[in-house]
């Protein structure tokens, strides 16, 4: 009996020591990132213990695992529903710890804005830090309501514009895509996922990263960034444009997959080899706009004046998306994009 008790004590002591080491190592990297981005003026970040996180998720039970192949769990913490983001493997090609700390840092910087997923705190006692956020749901894969699409797009544009302008150093999200967008119970869109976020030094308009370490979802990556590693505000504008296109054509839940006779783009092999933004541009140039828009969304519109107005809204939003991806005219700033979407939204 004494032997079993001693083994149990040793195991608990070993776990406690490991958690302390993780807390110290993770805390060091997080503090460095906070100093770099916030000049020592960061908002306080609440910390939770590993035991609190384990209890909140029922020890990361499968029933609380929200998304396949991802690391997000639902839980209850301090009598409120929460999202818990936990990395259990190396998520990126390099610097996993630094990227998760960047997510925490930027989340803490923007949590006061209604269009960002609010960070409630973090836990530093696991191998990689765990984020605790307000509860919200991912945007639905099928969004046949145009009003909802325009509203979501406008709110995400406002969020990205805030990132670009609210801080001494311009913050570039770098990973604007559907899996990083949530809807709260009131239907407010919220941007999250800052692991790849980079900052542009004050007084500069770009920053260069190693082109061999370019990361993200291919369809959403700006050409210049992919080929040269140069990051500018346009890097986010391009990604947002692709997001808007996928919302309007009804493909944001199945990026870069063309399914036989279901594909909108299968009329010639060369078109299928293009990225989403290139395909959209090609259809627009050929005067086939109606063919590319979400048929379910179009089908919900009547033949009356209201329906015609909604179709004009869709086309206007699609043309704006092509400006964002650099296919039509000068690439706008995100603030201009947000204003234009507000204008389109008011066409009711």
Least-confidence region, from 114-118, 163-167, 260-264: 260-264
280 φ/ψ angles, rounded to the nearest 5 degrees: -60, -45
- pLDDT at residue 106, rounded to an integer: 98
- pLDDT at residue 265, rounded to an integer: 41
As beta bridge partners, residue 74 has 83
Model confidence at 9, pLDDT cuts 50, 70, 90, reads low
Active-site annotation holds for 175:
yes
For residue 135 the two structure tokens come to 């509860």
Read off the pLDDT of residues 23-79 as tens digits, 9 standing for 90 and up: 999 999 999 999 999 876 778 999 999 999 999 999 999 999 987 667 899 999 999
Angle between helices 334-345 and 305-324 (to 10 degrees): 170
Degrees, nearest 5: CA angle 60-48-198: 90
Q: Is the pLDDT of residue 198 over 60?
A: yes
Residue whose C-alpha is closest to residue 106's, from 156, 46, 167: 167
For residue 124 the two structure tokens come to 């530093």
- Which one of 85-99, 227-241, 267-281 scores highest in mean pLDDT? 227-241
- pLDDT at residue 163, rounded to an integer: 98
In this prediction, residues 77-93 reach a mean pLDDT of: 81
- pLDDT at residue 304, rounded to an integer: 87
For residue 265 the two structure tokens come to 């783009």
In this prediction, residues 155-162 reach a mean pLDDT of: 99
- pLDDT at residue 264, rounded to an integer: 40
User: Could you give the CA distance from residue 56 to residue 81 in angstroms, rounded to a whole number?
Assistant: 9
pTM: 0.88
- Which one of 56-70, 145-159, 278-292 scores highest in mean pLDDT? 145-159
CA-to-CA dists, residue 70 to 45, 64, 180, angstroms? 24, 12, 12
- pLDDT at residue 173, rounded to an integer: 98
Least-confidence region, from 20-24, 89-93, 126-130, 165-169: 89-93
User: Could you give the CA distance from residue 232 to residue 199 in angstroms, rounded to a whole number?
Assistant: 10
96 φ/ψ angles, rounded to the nearest 5 degrees: -60, -45
Residue 131's H or E segment, with its range, is strand 130-134
CA 327 to chain centre: 23
User: Could you give the CA distance from residue 155 to residue 115 in angstroms, rounded to a whole number?
Assistant: 6
Degrees, nearest 5: CA angle 323-326-329: 60
For residue 58 the two structure tokens come to 């029922």
- pLDDT at residue 89, rounded to an integer: 61
As beta bridge partners, residue 137 has 183
- Active-site residue, selected from the candidate residues 33, 103, 175, 294: 175
**pLDDT > 90: percent of the chain:** 64
What does the DSSP assignment read for 213-256? G--S-GGGS-HHHHHH-EE-HHHHHHHHHHHHHHHHHT-TTSTT
**Domains with residue ranges and CATH for the chain:** 11-134 (3.30.200.20), 137-345 (1.10.510.10)
Angle between helices 233-249 and 276-285 (to 10 degrees): 60
């Amino acid at each position: 009996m004494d032997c079993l008790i001693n083994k149990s004590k040793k195991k608990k002591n070993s776990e406690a020591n490991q958690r302390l080491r993780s807390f110290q190592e993770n805390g060091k990297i997080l503090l460095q990132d906070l100093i770099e981005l916030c000049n020592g003026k960061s908002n306080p970040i609440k910390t939770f213990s590993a035991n609190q996180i384990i209890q909140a998720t029922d020890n990361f039970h499968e029933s609380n695992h929200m998304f396949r192949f991802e690391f997000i769990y639902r839980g209850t913490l301090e009598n409120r529903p929460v999202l818990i983001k936990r990395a259990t493997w190396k998520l990126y090609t390099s610097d996993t710890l630094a990227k998760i700390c960047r997510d925490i840092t930027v989340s803490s910087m923007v949590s006061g804005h209604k269009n960002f997923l609010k960070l409630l705190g973090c836990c530093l006692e696991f191998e990689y830090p765990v984020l605790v956020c307000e509860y919200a749901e991912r945007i639905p894969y099928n969004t046949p309501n145009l009003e909802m699409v325009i509203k979501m797009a406008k709110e995400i544009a406002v969020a990205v514009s805030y990132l670009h302008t609210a801080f001494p150093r311009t913050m570039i999200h770098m990973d604007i895509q559907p899996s990083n967008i949530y809807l709260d119970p009131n239907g407010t869109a919220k941007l999250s996922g800052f692991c790849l976020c980079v900052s542009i030094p004050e007084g500069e308009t770009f920053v260069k990263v190693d082109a061999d370490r370019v990361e993200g979802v291919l369809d959403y990556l700006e050409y210049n960034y992919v080929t040269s590693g140069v990051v500018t505000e346009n890097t986010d504008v391009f990604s947002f444009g692709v997001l808007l296109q996928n919302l309007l054509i009804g493909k944001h839940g199945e990026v870069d997959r063309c399914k036989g006779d279901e594909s909108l783009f299968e009329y010639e092999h060369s078109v299928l080899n293009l990225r989403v933004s290139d395909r959209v541009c090609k259809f627009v140039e050929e005067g086939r706009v109606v063919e590319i828009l979400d048929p379910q969304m179009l089908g919900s519109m009547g033949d009356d004046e209201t329906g015609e107005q909604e179709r004009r809204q869709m086309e206007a939003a699609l043309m704006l998306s092509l400006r964002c991806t650099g296919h039509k005219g000068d690439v706008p700033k995100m603030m201009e994009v947000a204003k234009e979407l507000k204008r389109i939204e008011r066409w009711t």
